[in-house]
Structure 1
């Protein structure tokens, strides 16, 4: 990572932790060439016990996730989002986002208890500090997989609004359609269970 990228990453973290989680404060030029599967990240992912990404096998559907292929964070198969089927939770998060940090343990508890019925997939979004992001997952003992969107390719793609105020939690139905997009953090485990019941029709 160049000194410029390192400085950018530090400023991004400070902004996210002190002023809120607004991706519009983050600009990550693709020319910087952020690598999301370096040997160090692969090793850290394995040491943390984070699961590999699981690509979908279906075709795109109207009202589903956008046609966007994203690399698995820390190594593993790329995931074409439009091919995913639920029931599933897709969580957009970033290292620099304090609310995301608070939400990750809730998602991990859900994944540990119900991931066989409703998998969780993270999306590390607009996040130039990949080392910090992987360390955060390890610190929170989050074992659900994440893909990476360091340049914000998902921004403003349907079904997402203009992505502001991370985190976002996307509820994906069995037929591949998005039933709900929740902006802001889930603040309790029971809230998450209630949202899954309401928007995916699954009482856990």
Structure 2
């Protein structure tokens, strides 16, 4: 009887395995064109105590982005669609983007996620209207001190990584206070 139940559960999982990704005819992930495009960023000297000289591909459309070229004020949120705490803090990030206007930039990094189609859906479902990069190989793990998602990093105007918050953000107020305290941006 247990084997029959197990087989039934396995068949109910359907095609939800790492290799089954819905793609458009041009090879891009379905829905990725609805995400905010990754911007072209001017090449710069890496900032002391800044982001690493690694390039990550865009989850949506747009060029790869070399992290060391980024300047702030900038909030980088490391997330994954399979991450429960990422779902809990998602509304705070969407609200921050709406509230910040041109005072602050946001970039997401989809971290070690084997399902880019579900990552695109996650970003769209949470109204994340900012660019997202992809780190499937843990290239940012050491520089952003990632034990696992979520992680939120704060980068100042000179490109210096001034603070890394480990774990989920607990409230909108906490996120906005971190932006003010770490980046000097009042919303």
Q: 2:54 aligns with which of 57, 68, 82?
A: 68
Contact 2:36–2:61, Cα closer than 8 Å, also in 1: no
Q: Please report how far the alpha carbon of residue 143 of structure 1 lies from its aligned counterpart in structure 2 after TM superposition.
A: 1.4
Secondary structure of 1:105's match? helix
The alignment status of 1:44 with 2:31, answered yes or no, reads yes
Contact 2:24–2:30, Cα closer than 8 Å, also in 1: no
Quick one: distance in 1 between partners of 2:61 and 2:82?
Answer: 21
Secondary structure of 1:107's match? helix
Aligned residues: 171
Alpha-carbon RMSD: 2.4
Q: Does 132-141 or 170-179 show the bigger shift?
A: 132-141
Secondary structure of 2:123's match? helix
Q: Please report how far the alpha carbon of residue 129 of structure 1 lies from its aligned counterpart in structure 2 after TM superposition.
A: 1.0
After superposition, give the CA deviation of every residue in 1:129-183 in whole Å (9 maximum; x if it has no partner): 1111111111112111100011212222x3x22x213100000000000110000
Partner of 1:201: 184
Structure whose residues are more often helix by fraction? 1
Quick one: distance in 2 between partners of 1:43 and 1:126?
Answer: 19
| Stretches of 4+ aligned residues off by more than 4 angstroms | 34-43
Correspondence 1:149-168 to 2 at 5 A = 149-156=135-142, 158=143, 160-161=144-145, 163-168=146-151
The alignment status of 1:179 with 2:162, answered yes or no, reads yes
Partner of 2:39: 54
Contact 1:36–1:148, Cα closer than 8 Å, also in 2: no
Flag structure 2 segments of 5+ consecutive residues without an equivalent.
Answer: 1-14
Larger Rg computed on CA atoms: 2
Secondary structure of 1:76's match? coil
Partner of 2:114: 128
Q: TM-score, normalised by structure 2?
A: 0.82
